[in-house]
């Protein structure tokens, strides 16, 4: 599903069926010693997806360990992103010569819990959500906004190794095109001598899921 939102130089694999904990590599198992079974299975399944996507690039299988702030540690020369939510796991990878960064996110297609929207949305985003809800009431636009901001952060962090608050990116959605833009409200990373001022991405919804994806082309 997520592959449809990404360019052809990205390889993506997803699933709605969980793998066994036996799919964990020893080093991965070691970082999960205190994790509950649900977390261990999510962790294992999304890494099965990641290793399958890496195989499509011809990259040998390896342990994928969480680094700072939980970002996955990819093999040399690879960028990627992983996501999981109830009933869905997915991973997307690309060679660094093609991509500077990737961010993907999946969320259940339902309203955000009380109080979350006020914590993540800027004033202009609140106005946009009201307009979108009036025209397309079957879509939970608040959940999509949250997912887009998660994808933005996942694309941002590998380029900066810095935190990005929810209010430090302003999202604008184009429901007809299934695209969104994120205008950074803070100084962005420099790629090929030029400051990155925002991200562009794509989104899709189903009865049960919202999916968002960003792929930043390599500089030059």
Q: What is the pLDDT of residues 98-141, one digit of tens each?
A: 999 999 999 999 999 999 999 999 999 999 999 999 999 999 99
- In terms of Cβ atoms closer than 10 Å to its own Cβ (0-12, 13-18, 19+), residue 8 is exposed
C-beta of residue 31 within 8 angstroms of C-beta of residue 65: yes
Domains of the chain by range and CATH?
1-220 (3.90.470.20)
C-beta of residue 136 within 8 angstroms of C-beta of residue 129: no
The answer, yes or no, to whether residue 220 has pLDDT greater than 80, is no
Q: Which residues contact 57 (CB under 8 A, 6 or more apart)?
A: 11, 78, 93, 94, 95
| Beta strand extents in the chain (DSSP E only) | 11-15, 78-85, 88-95, 99-108, 169-174, 179-184, 190-191, 194-195, 198-205, 209-217
Banded model confidence at residue 192, pLDDT cuts 50, 70, 90: confident
- Residues 24, 100: Cα–Cα separation, whole Å: 28
What does pTM read for this prediction? 0.96
The pLDDT of residue 105: 98
């Amino acid at each position: 599903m997520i592959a449809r939102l990404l360019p052809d130089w990205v390889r993506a694999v997803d699933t709605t069926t969980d793998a066994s904990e036996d799919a964990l590599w020893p080093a991965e198992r070691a970082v999960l010693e205190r994790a509950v079974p649900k977390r261990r299975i999510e962790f294992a399944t999304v890494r099965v997806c990641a290793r399958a996507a890496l195989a499509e690039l011809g990259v040998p299988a390896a342990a994928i360990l969480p680094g700072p702030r939980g970002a996955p540690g990819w093999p040399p020369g690879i960028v990627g992103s992983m996501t999981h939510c109830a009933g869905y796991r997915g991973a997307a990878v690309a060679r660094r010569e093609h991509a500077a960064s990737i961010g993907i996110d999946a969320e259940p297609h339902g309203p955000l819990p009380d109080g979350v929207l006020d914590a993540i949305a800027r004033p202009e985003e609140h106005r946009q959500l009201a307009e979108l809800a009036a025209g397309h009431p079957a879509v939970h636009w608040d959940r999509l906004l949250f997912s887009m901001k998660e994808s933005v952060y996942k694309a941002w962090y590998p380029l900066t190794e810095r935190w990005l608050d929810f209010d430090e990116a302003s999202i604008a959605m184009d429901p007809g095109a299934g695209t969104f833009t994120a205008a950074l409200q803070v100084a962005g990373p420099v790629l090929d001598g030029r400051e990155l001022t925002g991200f562009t991405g794509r989104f899709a919804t189903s009865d049960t899921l919202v999916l968002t994806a960003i792929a930043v082309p390599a500089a030059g």
